[in-house]
Amino acid sequence: MAGENLKEKEGAVGGQKVGVYVCHCGGNISDHVDVSEVCRRIEKIGCVASVQNNMFMCSDPGQELIMKDIRSGAVDRVVVASCAPNLHEATFRNAISRAGGNPYIYEHANIREQVSWVHHGEAATAKAVRLIAAATAKAERLVPLTPIRLEATRHATIVGAGVAGLKAAIDLANRGVEVALLETSPFLGGRAAHLDRLAPTGESAAEVVSGLAKQVLDHSSITVYPCAGIRSCEGYIGNFRIGVEKAPPAAGRQWSEIARGEFVPFAGVYPGSVPENSEQFFIDTGIILLATGFKPYEPRNGEYGYRQFDEVVTLPEFIEMLAGARLGSKTLQLGGREIKSVAMIHCVGSRMIPGIHEEDENGRLNEYCSRTCCTATLQAASTIRRLFPGTNVFEFYRDIRTYGRGQEELYARAAKDNVMFFRFTPEDPPVIGKRDDGDGYALSVRVKDTLTFGEEIEAPVDLVVLSAGMEPNDVSDLVDMLKLPVGADAFLQEVHPKLRPVELSVAGVFLAGTCQAPMDTGEACAAASAAAVKASAVLSRGFVELDPFVAEVDPGKCRGTGACVEACLKEGALELVETESGGKKARVHAAFCIGCGACAAVCPEGAIDVKGWTLTQYEAMVDALVSDDLFEEELAHGTGE
C-alpha cells in the first residue's frame, strides 16, 4: 500500500497538475478513514495528476514520494492530507523546496484532528474526501510566491538578567551578535541568586550565577543596562526600535560600597553602576528575547497559617534563613529559637483545584504543577537532617514529583535521612494550629494520613515551611505592547511545544526560561541556549525572509474608500496614499501585515486580497465542499450523506 500510485496523467483543467498525498498516520487516520476509498474518489478530480498514500507522509520515504513527482514534472501543485498543518507544514514546504519547487504551491488537508479523531466509518471517509477535494480546488489556483525579504540588524535585546537571560546573552555574543541586556533590578542573577544550593547537584547557586555574570560583564559584545525596562516598541523582525527607560533603584543600600562583579547574597551580582536619575533612550535591534522569569507564589493571609503565625514561612524564606543558621549545634537554631521539628507542606500555590482552592483577585487558580518544588523541598529536608540531626522533619505531600535526572535520588536520600512522610488529599489538607501544651512546641499540624488509611496524625512543630510554587512575573505591559500570546496558566505561550518551543507567534520575539513555564536552573539554561541559536540563525544572514501571505492591492480596482485601513488589525500595515492624479489608493506595508484578511472582507470594490488565500481560492474550496460529484455512486444507492 505504501507509495501506491493510483493515477498519473499529463494534463489537467487549467493546465495545473495537482499531486495528492494521503497519510495513514500509523493508523491514527486509516483506522477510521478508508484511505484506499479516499484515493479512489479523489483521482476522479480533473486537475489531479497523481494520488499516493503512505503510512507516514512526514517520514523520509513519504517526503520522497512528493519530491520524486515534482522532479519528474508529474505534478506542479501539492496537497498533503494528514495531521494538523502546524505540525508538519514546514516539513512539506522544505521537501518541495529541496525538489526544486516553490514551497508555496502546497496546500494541506487536516484529516486527523478534523476527521479521524471525531468521526468513524463512512462519515469519516466522506468528510475526508470533501476536505481533500476543497484543498485540491485551492491548490489548482495557487501561484508561486516569493518570500518577503527584510534587512536585519545584527543585534539582540534580552529582557531579564536571570540565569536564562545571562546564558542567552553569552551564547548570542559568542556567535558574533551585539547584545543589550536589560534588567529591572540593580542585580544580575534573578531568582537563582536567592538560592543557596541548586538541586539535585548541590552546586553553589552563588558560584553558578557569578560565573555567568562574569562572562557577561567581561564580554565586549554585551552591554548591561541595570534598572532598565522597555517602555515602547515599534518595527518588525530584524528592525525593531525599542524605547528604554532607566530609573534609580529604591533607596536603602549603599551602592558605592559594592564592587563591580561582587555577588551580594540573596540579591545577585552587582554589575557596577546604577542610574542616579531617570533617563530614556532608544535601541535599534533585530530580535527581542524575553527571559523575564518568575516569582514565588505568595500564600494568602491565613493560608496554612501564613501571616497568622510567625512560625509559618515559605520555602524561599526558609532557604535564606537556613543559609544563615549557625552550624555546630545538634538542632537547628533560627533567630535565637531552637527548632526541634519542622513541617514542610507541598503544593502550596500549585495544582489548585476549582471548588476546593480559593481563586486570586483575578479569578485565577494555579492548576499547573510547578515541577521544581518537590525537589527543592526534599533537598532542604535532607540538609536539615544532615546538618542538624536533632531536628525532626515531617513532609506533608499530595504527590512527590521528582521528575528529572538525579532528582529521584533526593527522595531516596531524604527517606534514608529519616525524613517522615505523610500523604494528604486536597479535600483534607493539613490544618495548622497554635499549640499551648507547655511542651515548648509553637504549632501543631493535623492531617488525615492516606498512607495509614486515613488515620489522623498530629505533629508538634516549631516551624512550618510552605513549598510555594512558581508564578510568572507580571509582564502585562510587554504583553500589551508587543501583542504577546499568554496561556491559560498566565505564562507566555510558545508557538508549538515541540516544533517551535522557544518562539512566540510575534515574529522576531523569542522566549527562554521560566517566563514560559516552571523550570529548574538547568532547563532554563538549556531553553536559553535554544532561543539564542534560533535568534542567531535569524540574524546571521543579514536579512530575514517572511512568508508572503500578506494583503495585496489591485491599483486598478482600488477607489481609496479607506474601509480596509479602518478594518486593519495591525497598526502600520495599511495606509492611504496620494496618487499622481490626486486620488488615494491603499498601500500595504508587507513587513507589518499579518495576513488576517480583515481588509479583503470589507473592500467594496474587491480590490484587495491575501496572497495564498484569495477570495477566488475560497470560492473554489466552498464549491468543492458542497459538490456531490465525488459521491454519485453512493447517492445512486441511497448511501450518501
CA distances in angstroms from 520 to 201, 245, 360, 456, 527, listed in the order given: 12, 30, 25, 34, 11
Rounded-to-integer distance, Cα 636 and Cα 626, Å: 17
CATH of the domain at 134: 3.40.50
Q: What is the mean pLDDT of residues 606-630?
A: 93
CATH of the domain at 591: 3.30.70.3270
Residue 13 has pLDDT above 70, yes or no: no
> Does one domain contain both 97 and 64?
yes
* Structural Rg of the chain based on CA atoms: 31
In a domain, 378, yes or no: yes
What is the domain count for the chain?
4
> Does one domain contain both 370 and 399?
yes
Residue 8 — pLDDT band, cuts 50, 70, 90? very low
* Structural domain ending residue among the three candidates 487, 522, 544: 544
- The overall average pLDDT reported for the chain is 93
> Does one domain contain both 395 and 322?
yes
**Regarding predicted confidence, which is higher, 362 or 438?**
362
In a domain, 625, yes or no: no
pLDDT tens for 551-607 read 999 999 999 999 999 999 988 899 999 988 888 999 999 989 999 999 999 999 999
| DSSP assignments along 103-153, one per residue | TTSEEEEE-IIIIITT--HHHHHHHHHHHHHHHHHHHHT-----PEEEE--
In a domain, 619, yes or no: no
pLDDT for the residue 437 = 78
**Regarding predicted confidence, which is higher, 583 or 11?**
583
Residue 229 has pLDDT above 60, yes or no: yes
Cell of 582: 490626486
> Does one domain contain both 138 and 161?
no
> Does one domain contain both 40 and 180?
no
Is there a cis peptide before residue 200, judged by omega within 30 degrees of 0? yes
Contact of 183 with 293, CB cutoff 8 Å = no
pLDDT tens for 475-533 read 999 999 999 999 999 999 999 898 899 999 999 999 999 999 999 999 999 999 999 99
pLDDT for the residue 15 = 81
Rounded-to-integer distance, Cα 134 and Cα 283, Å: 47
Q: Which residues, other chains included, contact 436 with Cβ-Cβ below 8 Å and sequence gap of 6+?
A: none
> Does one domain contain both 167 and 101?
no
Torsion of CA 514, 519, 522, 527, to 10 degrees: -50
> Does one domain contain both 457 and 311?
yes
Q: Which residues, other chains included, contact 174 with Cβ-Cβ below 8 Å and sequence gap of 6+?
A: none
Rounded-to-integer distance, Cα 286 and Cα 288, Å: 7
Kindly provide the b/e burial profile for residues 379-392, where b requires at least 16 CB atoms within 10 angstroms of the residue's own CB. Answer: bbbbbbbeebeebb
pLDDT for the residue 14 = 63
Is the pTM above the cut of 0.85?
yes
pLDDT for the residue 1 = 39
Q: What is the mean pLDDT of residues 273-281?
A: 92
Furthest CA-CA distance within the chain: 96
pLDDT tens for 396-447 read 999 999 988 899 999 999 999 999 999 999 999 999 999 887 788 999 999 9
Cell of 428: 483534607
* Structural domain ending residue among the three candidates 408, 433, 461: 461
pLDDT tens for 40-80 read 999 999 999 999 999 999 999 999 999 999 999 999 999 99
Contact of 503 with 516, CB cutoff 8 Å = no
Contact of 365 with 354, CB cutoff 8 Å = yes
Domain carrying residue 589: 551-610
Reference 218, options 261, 172, 157, 188; nearest CA is: 261
> Does one domain contain both 169 and 31?
no
> Does one domain contain both 176 and 192?
yes
**Element (DSSP H or E) covering residue 317:** helix 315-323
| DSSP assignments along 457-506, one per residue | EEEEESEEEEEE-EEE---HHHHHHHT--B-TTSSBPPSBTTTBTTB-SS
Share of the chain above pLDDT 70, in %: 96
> Does one domain contain both 455 and 516?
no
> Does one domain contain both 453 and 495?
no
Rounded-to-integer distance, Cα 551 and Cα 595, Å: 6
pLDDT for the residue 308 = 96
Share of the chain above pLDDT 90, in %: 87
